[in-house]
Structure 1
Amino acid sequence: MSRTVQRSGLMVSVLGAVAGGLAIAGITWWGLWHFLGAKAETPNQLDLSRISLAVAAGIGGAVALVVAYRKQRDAERGRFAEVFGAAARQLGDPDVAVRIAGVYAMAGVADEFSARWRRQQCVDVLCGYLRLPYAPEEGASHLVSKSQRIEDNGTAVERVYTYRQNDRQVRDTIVRVIAEHLRPSAETRWCECDFDFTDAVFENADFRYTVFAGRNTRFTNAMFLSGRIVTFEKARFLGKRVTFRGAIFRSAAVFDHAEFAHTEVGRADRGATGVTFSEATFGGGGSFEGAEFRGARTAFDRTTFVGERTSFANAAFAAESTSFERGVFDGERVTFTGAEFTGARVTFADARFCTDSSSFDCARLGAPIRWRNGRTQEVSFARTEYHGTVSFADTVFAGRKVVFAGGDFFGDISFRRAAFDARDISFDRPKAWVGVHFDWDDSPTAKPSHISPTPWPPVPAESASELAS
């Protein structure tokens, strides 16, 4: 069937070349007849015949070129199918050495065939291998199968489990090969490809200095196991969609100086564009020091940060929308020291700061007002909980509106030396107000007039209801 299709396609191309050649010959004859004096005097039939033969030879040459091109393309297609199939068979081999060889063979196929869809097909196979079910506890064993005898309603049942022998070595090789092809130093780079690591299990994830510039980069529900390297230091994510939604990091995850700056898109695509770590869990802490977030959206909604240390120190959040809504910050220390939030909307609404120490010292929350339109429309900490030691010392609050309304302040929370430059700042109706410190504590009348409520200090909502009753 495929040969019939190929032959029919070749026939159409040849007929097209012949028809085009005949048309050119006809136009040439007509031009010679009308513009070289063929009407004024009897044309030299020999010269015209020579010209016509030259045109016919040109037609034959065009046909030959079409045939040669189609043969070359078909040969290239056949060779790709051959080497791609051979590499895929190696990846499915029971022997671990053959599978590792298959990884390099598939990478070689991707390097040799530069057509985007062919290279993407090779990348999809490597990513697909990482998405296969994997038992980490058996990843380094020499087992190919294991049987288990169990009792089921008084009947002995034997179950046999099949394993890919020493699969950890194969998976580490795939991750290393992909990362090497994503670095600027690579001889052949795969940066423009899409990568789908959905549900993949990573034991060793060293993606330092890599560049993900494909349209979609997915680490959705990926599992990064403990005890191994998890680093995206100085990585660049330049595609339209980057997602770590639901990912679980059991080791400390390092994204220091990473860049999330997807390409510009139209307004219709903005809702589905950007970078998201929503619902991810950083079980060993996370570091985004000096990271840059730009574009339409940055989302850490319902993300959980636990572990010894979580740091966004000196990070730059310049996306139009930045959200840590319902985020949970737990563990020993969380710091946003020196971070800058300059997008149109920034929210930590309903977040929980339950660490021993949380710091926004010297951070900038909101960009200054520019003429009638403010760069930052709203910075929201509405209904956020603060426990332990929380510091906003020397923080700059700018933009149109900053909301702390409904917050649960219970601990040692400092706003000393903070600059409240926003037009409207609200601390109205807190859930609790214990251990909060401002520069005007000793003289409430010194409170800026654009900060509510007045009178000061704020009265917790429950207490206000009791007083009203």
Structure 2
Amino acid sequence: MAKKSVSIVIPMIGGAVVASIVWMLGPGARWILENIDGVTVGGPTGLTGKDLAAALDAVRGRVLAVATGLAALLAVFYTARNADTARRSFQLGERGHVTDRYSKAVEQLGSPQAPVRLGGLYALEQLAQGTPDPEFRQTIVDVICAYLRMPFTPPTEGTTSEPAGRDPQEERQVRLAAQRILANHLRHHSATARPWRRIRPADRNARHWPDVRIDLSGATLIDLDFRSCHISEARFADSIFIGDSTFAGSIFVGDAMFDGTVFHGAARFGGTTFDGAAWFERATFTGPATFAGATFSIAAQFEGATFNRAARFTGAAFVGAAWFGGATFAGAWFAGATFDSDAWFGGATFTDSALFERAVGLETAALGGVHLAPVAEDVVRTWPTAWKEAPDGTGGRTLRLAHPPAEGADDDGEPGESSAT
């Protein structure tokens, strides 16, 4: 409605201005000379003859100059308006083109032919890389994650096809490509600081997609390499990792959820920073689990986790609370780890070596119900100075605080309380 009103008013104003200019170039020139310029015309003291003609010509010249300026302004206005209209038309056309490309790429992901599915993935990657709209980019990431969450059985000898009629070996390659696309654009390399240089270093993160959330809950992932990634929020609950999985040096800005995840192979989280809560409750690590040098800023939840091989937390920093209650360790390395808040180990089981030398902040850890499985004489177990081994009353061994709290504290397994049974 507003645009229509402007379209009507402007021509009316333009017509009135043109009529006024025509009048001022004719009989109106004398009126301007007399009433605006204050010049006397005629009579014994007024302008007559050539002097009057010259004065009228001067008035008309001024009017023409003003008219020329108004015409120029009008031309600029219409040019800008037409340019804006053209720009809007182009944007609408471009948006429609992008929508068509997006729809076609998503449709390709449903093709039974692996090359077509690969083409759809790479088309989505190009769209995400070329858009300035973070919401549209997040939508594309969500589509790729949804593809990886689709049911998939890794190929084994004798496997000929997936339920959808897809070749399992080809589908494996498609999924590896989807994982690489995510990793390549989540990976973030910090530019090296060079204070002696005035020129700003080249952007090393031109392909990085900032503030991206990923949801790969329940996905089957193969040899996932997410090292040095910068992720806003990550969900891997109940996912299955086939082969080695690497998150070394990554930063999880929001919560990182690995509840119920199964790692078939090495799980590498060395040097990873968890700025949000880290959830590994009930996770199973069939291969070595490395969290050496990791930082847990809010909370580290490993309650009920199973470590079938060595769990390395050497030099890890637990800024927030750390839960290892009910966890099973077939080798636990916490040498040099720092616990700045509460720590729960109640109900944990240690079946092999345990190295806690130089670990700090475990003087009040919850140790109720810790079970120490018998081990060979050559297996080394070194506990924090605040802990000691003791009989558990059933013929086995457990852990207790070397200096239990004052008598009268409730024995409910909370940090700082006795683990006496």
Give TM-score scaled by structure 1 length: 0.64
Determine if the alignment matches structure 1 residue 221 to structure 2 residue 238: yes
Q: Distance in 2 between matches of 1:48 and 1:125?
A: 60
1:192 to 208, 211, 215: 211
Counterpart AA for 1:355: T
Change in 2 beyond 3 A, CA 1:138/1:300: same
Give the Cα–Cα distance (whole angstroms) in 1 for the partners of residues 398 and 157 of structure 2: 47
Q: CA deviation at 1:193?
A: 1.6
Number of the residue aligned with 2:245: 230
Match of 1:353 in 2: 349
Q: Structure 2 matches for 1:133-282, cutoff 5 A?
A: 133-137=151-155, 141-143=159-161, 161-165=163-167, 166-183=170-187, 184=189, 187-212=206-231, 214=232, 216-225=233-242, 228-237=243-252, 239-262=253-276, 274-282=277-285
* Percent pairwise identity: 26
Rounded to whole Å, the distance in 1 between the matches of 2:337 and 2:5 is 64
**Does the C-alpha gap of structure 1 residues 20 and 178 become closer, same or farther in structure 2, counting only changes over 3 Å?**
farther
Tell me the alpha carbon deviations over residues 53-103 of structure 1, each in whole angstroms, 9 at most, x when there is no partner: 343333323322321221121122112112212222222211112222322
Deviations 1:112-137 (A, max 9, x none): 22321222222111111101111224
Q: Aligned equivalents of 2:299 and 2:63: distance in 1?
A: 77
- Alignment of 1:288 with 2:298, yes or no, is no
- Counterpart position of 1:124: 142
Equivalent of 2:333, from 335, 352, 372? 335
2:83 equivalent to 1:90? no
Pair 327,68 (structure 1): closer, same or farther in 2 beyond 3 Å: farther
Q: Write the deviation string for residues 160-195 of structure 1: whole angstroms up to 9, x where unpaired.
A: x43322311111111122112222356411242211
Secondary structure of residue in 1 paired with 2:342: strand
> Residues 187-243 of structure 1: CA distance to partner in whole angstroms, max 9, x if unpaired?
41124221111111112211122221x2x2211221112xx2211111221x22322
Q: Tell me which protein shows more strand as a share of its residues.
A: 1
CA drift at 1:452? 9.1
Residue type at the aligned position of 1:164: R
Task: Write the letter of the residue equivalent to 1:411.
Answer: R
Amino acid at match of 1:324: W
**Unmatched segments (≥5 aa) in structure 2:** 15-34, 39-58, 190-203, 374-379
Q: Hey, what's the Cα distance between the residues in 2 that align with 1:94 and 1:385?
A: 53
> Which entry has the higher C-alpha Rg, 1 or 2?
2
SS at match of 1:171: helix
Cα contact 2:332–2:353 (8 A) shared by 1: yes
- Cα distance in 1 between the residues matched to 2:410 and 2:82: 84
TM-score, normalising length from structure 2?
A: 0.71
8 Å Cα contact 1:292/1:316 also seen in 2? yes
Structure 2 CA distance for partners of 1:299 and 1:290, relative to 1, 3 Å? closer
2: CA distance, partners of 1:83 / 1:141: 34
1:289 to partner: Cα distance: 0.5
Partner SS state of residue 135, structure 1: coil
Partners of 2:64 and 2:125 lie apart in 1 by 60
The residue identity in structure 1 corresponding to 2:219 is A
Paired residues of 1:391 and 1:414 also in contact (CA < 8 A): no
Matched, 1:299 2:300: yes
Q: Tell me the residue number matched to 1:465.
A: none
Q: Structure 1 residue 15: deviation in Å?
A: 5.3
Supply the distance in 1 between the matched residues of 2:391 and 2:73 (Cα, whole angstroms).
85
Q: Secondary structure at the match of 1:162?
A: coil
**Are residues 1:391 and 2:368 paired?**
no
Deviations 1:25-69 (A, max 9, x none): 9xxxxxxxxxxxxx9758954444344334333332332232122
Distance 1:241 1:351 in 2: 26
Find the partner of 2:67 among 33, 41, 49. 49
The superposition leaves residues 358-385 of structure 1 with CA deviations (integer Å, 9 ceiling, x where unpaired) of 232111117xxxxxxxxxxx94415241
Distance 1:275 1:312 in 2: 14
- How far off is 1:353 after superposition? 2.7
Instruction: Check whether the contact 2:184–2:207 (CA below 8 A) recurs between aligned residues.
Output: no
Distance of aligned partners of 1:256 and 1:236 in 2 relative to their CA distance in 1, 3 Å threshold: same
Counting only pairs closer than 5 Å after superposition, residues 70-109 of structure 1 correspond to structure 2 as 70-109=88-127
Secondary structure (helix, strand or coil) at the match of 1:170 reads: helix
Distance in 2 (alpha carbons) for counterparts of 1:197 and 1:218: 6
* Whole-Å separation in 2 of the counterparts to 1:17 and 1:383: 79
* Contiguous gaps of at least 5 residues in structure 1: 1-10, 26-38, 145-160, 263-273, 367-377, 398-402, 432-450, 462-469
State whether residues 367 and 399 of structure 2, in contact with CA within 8 Å, keep that contact through their aligned partners in structure 1.
no
Q: Distance in 2 between matches of 1:197 and 1:291?
A: 22
Distance, in Å, in 1 between the alignment partners of 2:287 and 2:6 is 66
User: Cα RMSD (Å) of the superposition?
Assistant: 3.9
Count of residue correspondences: 349
The corresponding residue for 2:47 is none
- In 2: Cα distance, 1:114 partner to 1:221 partner: 33
What is the rounded CA distance, in whole Å, between the counterparts of 1:163 and 1:139 in structure 2? 17
**Does structure 2 retain, via aligned residues, the 8 Å contact 1:284–1:307?**
yes
Over 6 Å off, 4+ runs: 16-22, 425-431
Q: Cα 1:84–1:139, aligned 2, differ >3 Å: closer, same or farther?
A: farther
